[in-house]
Each structure stands twice: as C-alpha cells, then as structure tokens.
Amino acid sequence: MKILIIFIISTMLSTNCQAITTNLNPLILIPGAGGNQLEARLTSKYKPTSLLCNKLYPLNKDSEGWFRIWFDPSILLSPFTKCFNQRMKLYYQTQLDDYYNNPGVETRITHFGSTKSLLYLHPYLQKITAYMEPLVKALEEVGYRDGENLFGAPYDFRYGLAADGHPSHVGSKFLEDLKELIESASNSNGGKPVILVSHSLGGLYVQQLLVRNPKSWSQKYIKHFIALATPWGGTVMQMLTFASGNTLGVPLVNPLLVREEQRSSESNMWLLPSPKVFNTKSPLVVTTNVTYSAHDIPEFLKNIGFPEGVLPYTSRILPLVDNLVTSTDQVPITCVIGCGVKTPETLLYADGDFDKLPEIVYGDGDGTVNMISLLSFESNKSTYQHLKVIKIQGVSHTGILKDEIALEKIVEEISCINSDISLVSKA
C-alpha cells in the first residue's frame, strides 16, 4: 500500500512539473566545442601562407576588421580550408607554458550573457547550422526569456584548462566570466540560485568551476547542474581526430587539411581518453605492430607525428583529468545522455598509415562519446550522492539538443528543479 501511494504521488508530481512556469530560477546555457560563433581579426603581424589567405579575405568584415571565422561556409572549399586551418591554429609556447593564437590573429566571442550566438553557428544559414535553438525555444515555452532569466555563456572553445600550477589564460578567464555571470543572474533574479545546463565540453568547464570554488559559493549560487552528453573521461573519437583529422560531419572537407589545427587545440587534448576512466588494458588504437590504450597516449602522440603534444599532455592534462574523481559533491547533478548509438570504440590502422581513415569497431554511446565516459560519474556514486542519470535510447551527441523526446525530458527536469519536486520525489 505504501509503495502504491508513493508511486501515485511521484506520478502526479512528475505530470505537473511542466505546468509550473512561475517562480523560475535563472538558467545559464554553456555550449560544447564548436557550439557558438567565433569572430577573428587580422593585425599587421599576420603572415598569410598563400595569396588567397591574405588580409583581404574575407571581404565581409565590420568597420573594425572583425569577421566570422566559425562557422564560415567558405571552409568547405579546399583553398579556404587551408586559410581556416592557419587562422584557427593555436601554439603552445613551452617557455610560457600556455597556448596562444597564431601571431597576427585576434579572436573574440560575441554576445556573452545572451543565447544569441548559441542558437545558430551562422545567422544566415539557420536551417543547417541550428545548435541550441530548439532547446532555447522549448525553454521559452515554459517562461524563460533571454537576458531576463535565461543566459548564454559562449567561449573560445579551442582553449581548455590546465592542472594547478599551469597557466591557461583564456580558459581561466572564461571561468571568471562564467562565475560573474552566475552571480549577476542570481542577483538580478531576487537572489535565486542558478540552474546550469551544459552540453558536451561545456560540462567539463562547469565541473572545473565547481572544483575551483568553495562549496559555500556553489551552494549559494547554483541550484542544479544539468550536464547533457558530457565526455567526462574523453572519447576514442579524439584519437581519430589527432591521428587522421576529423571533419565533424562537414561535407567536402579533407580531414588532413584541418588535422594540424585540431591537434593544436588545447580543448581537444583535454578530450583524449582518460586512463582514470578507460580500462588501461583495452586497446583503443590498433596497428600491425603496436596497440595503444588510454595509458599509452604519450607514445600515441609521438608515433602519429605529433611529439610536441607530449609535454603539454603529460604536464597539463593528465593531472587535470584526475580531478574528475577527486572533485566534491557540491551541487545536485543530472546527467542526460544518449545511448544505443554506434560509437567508435577501437580504431584499426592495418598498415599503420595515420593519414588514412581507419576501420572502426563500434560500441555503445551517443555516436561521439563512449558509454564508459558518459557514465563515469555514475560509477562514482559514493562521491556524487546527489546524482541522477537520464538515458535516452537512440539519441546522438548533438541530437540531444534537437530530439523531441530529449527536449521534453530536459525541460521536464528543469521544471521539476524549479518547483523542488525532484527533491520531494527523492525524499
């Protein structure tokens, strides 16, 4: 009888969650890699690698010389793909122990604090570059309004963070800006704590924000953290990116033309499979003579022709990913993930030629992130006591932002958090 009563009450509460649109907590969206627009400007220090890549390209710039570098459809054409590669590439300066733009290239994000640059990657190609627009639209239907109780935190997704004792000037500045946005959103909404909703890489940034701030601050300003498709322990897909390049589904692009830029990305290195999460004995990359597990990343980077990546990986990234396990249970977390989608699990380079695409052995995941990585928080339930995991069958890594069932689940979770029903249900 008692079980029946609890079931009836839980059903009634869950059904009524979406009907509650008043008294909303402010909400901040944090995108994943490539999930917001990025602008660039060329200075007198810029040295083009070809005539086509001179400072006149592209013609469409504002009065101060700024132009959209991501997403720009001209990168679909090979000569301009090379320009994109040169201008987006980062450089790790060993003496300064940090990452920097290509000399002569300045970059900036636009509309920080708003959802504007998260909706579409290109405002004139909305149909094919929609990103968070379906989620924002669903949130608006339950009462959220951009700039009032709904905010966006775009960032330069090429950059990442580093372990304690190592500078990461761009990534650290983003964490400072995000912290200020959280406090501002809370203060402008009567002191209500904020709901953070991240996608993919954005979840790793939020996790580091929690690690690097006192528990008292997190509990004052953050009501709940909803992590969508977060690669907590990295992905096998990143090993493909480093070895052979990855077009990320963009048609007509030769992956080798963007490989150099992708290898230079600080955040891409952050997303390599973590030995803390992946079984160190399981082969992730297999060649005729050598196999590489998550424990063998330094050797892997050296053998694919990227030895300069070994130092920043071993000194900056490995100690950083250890924080996933040691971080504290500061705020309630809901992980929403896709599952049942073919996801690269092992890469087979039969002839050891990393310039060619490998044969792929697939496993479970969301098409991009492996299940072991998506569920790595769940495997540490003793550390994360206030953890909830919502699995959605057949939903992909980016599909989680567009799929009707996924959106319904996400908005329902947000509505329940706003009404504290999720807390009542747990009791």
Lowest mean pLDDT among 44-58, 100-114, 310-324, 372-386: 372-386
What average pLDDT does range 99-114 have in this prediction?
97
Q: What is the DSSP letter of 370?
A: B
Q: What is the DSSP letter of 117?
A: H
In one letter, which amino acid is 276? K
Name the catalytic one among 72, 186, 376, 397.
397
Residues in a beta bridge with 390 = 336
Burial classification of residue 53, based on how many CB atoms lie within 10 Å of its CB (0-12 exposed, 13-18 middle, 19 or more buried):
buried
Mean pLDDT of the chain, nearest integer? 91
Q: Is 425 annotated as catalytic?
A: no
**Rounded Cα gap, residues 159 and 172, in angstroms:** 10
**Rounded Cα gap, residues 81 and 307, in angstroms:** 24
**Rounded Cα gap, residues 141 and 217, in angstroms:** 31
Lowest mean pLDDT among 20-24, 172-176, 235-239: 20-24
Count of CB atoms situated within 10 Å of the CB of 5: 9
- The larger pLDDT score, comparing residue 282 to residue 292, is at 292
- Whole-number percent of the chain with pLDDT over 70: 90
With a cut of 70, say whether residue 235 has pLDDT above it.
yes
With a cut of 60, say whether residue 397 has pLDDT above it.
yes
**pLDDT tier, 7 (very low <50, low <70, confident <90, very high otherwise):** very low
Q: Is 200 annotated as catalytic?
A: yes
Give the list of residues 6+ apart from residue 166 with CB closer than 8 angstroms, or none: 97, 98, 315, 316
> Token pair for residue 125?
């190609």
- CB 286 within 8 Å of CB 348: yes
Give the pLDDT of residue 8.
43
What average pLDDT does range 198-204 have in this prediction?
98
pLDDT in tens, 16-53: 565 455 689 999 999 999 999 999 999 999 999 888 89
**pLDDT tier, 381 (very low <50, low <70, confident <90, very high otherwise):** low
Q: What is the DSSP letter of 315?
A: I
pTM over 0.75: yes
- CB 389 within 8 Å of CB 378: yes
> Token pair for residue 65?
């010389």
Q: CA nearest 386: which of 421, 334, 327, 326?
A: 334
**Rounded Cα gap, residues 134 and 118, in angstroms:** 11
Give the list of residues 6+ apart from residue 82 with CB closer than 8 angstroms, or none: 49, 50, 53, 257
- CB 387 within 8 Å of CB 377: yes
Give the pLDDT of residue 423.
44
In our burial notation (b when 16+ CB lie closer than 10 A, e otherwise), range 144-183 reads: bebeebbbbbbbbbbbbbbeeeeebebbbebbebbeebbe
Greatest CA separation for the chain: 79
Burial classification of residue 11, based on how many CB atoms lie within 10 Å of its CB (0-12 exposed, 13-18 middle, 19 or more buried):
exposed
Name the catalytic one among 72, 146, 156, 366.
366
Q: What is the DSSP letter of 345?
A: E
In one letter, which amino acid is 283? P
| DSSP strands (E only) in 38-121 | 38-42, 67-70, 90-93, 98-101, 105-109
Give the pLDDT of residue 405.
97
Helix (H) or strand (E) holding 286: strand 285-287
With a cut of 90, say whether residue 251 has pLDDT above it.
no
Opening angle at CA 176, ends 171 and 179, nearest 5: 125
Q: CA nearest 26: which of 209, 149, 172?
A: 149
CA distances from 55 to 60, 76, 83, 106 (A): 11, 19, 11, 13
Name the catalytic one among 168, 198, 200, 376.
200
> Token pair for residue 89?
């590439």
With a cut of 50, say whether residue 391 has pLDDT above it.
yes
**Rounded Cα gap, residues 366 and 341, in angstroms:** 5
State CA 39 to chain mean position distance.
Answer: 19
